[in-house]
Amino acid sequence: MRVDKFLSSVNILKRRSIAQDMCENGVVSINGIVAKSSKEVRIGDIITLKYLTYSKTYEVLALPLSKTIPKSQSSQYYKEI
């Protein structure tokens, strides 16, 4: 699954277009390497989002099969580190 789709599907970011913009600007990295929006995400990957004053790190636990999932099930797909 593409990183931009994953971030929007599991409700880390609101919209896929926001995720694409963040990838284009070098804010998103996977396993320490800056990622383009088309980069594939696998189970066990570490995704880091670098904001202006802080960064958030997530571990991929599972990949969703549908386009969107309920917020109540988000914890099954990623874990904040």
Map out the domains of the chain as residue ranges.
3-64
Which CATH class name applies to 3-64?
alpha beta
Q: In whole angstroms, what is the distance from residue 19 CA to residue 5 CA?
A: 8
What value does the mean pLDDT of the chain take?
A: 93
Q: Summarize the confidence of residues 46-61 as an average pLDDT.
A: 95
**Threshold 0.85, pTM exceeds:** yes
Phi/psi at 72 (5° precision): -65, -20
pLDDT computed for residue 68 by the predictor? 82
The DSSP output letter for 1 is -
**Cβ neighbour number for residue 18 with a 10 Å cutoff:** 13
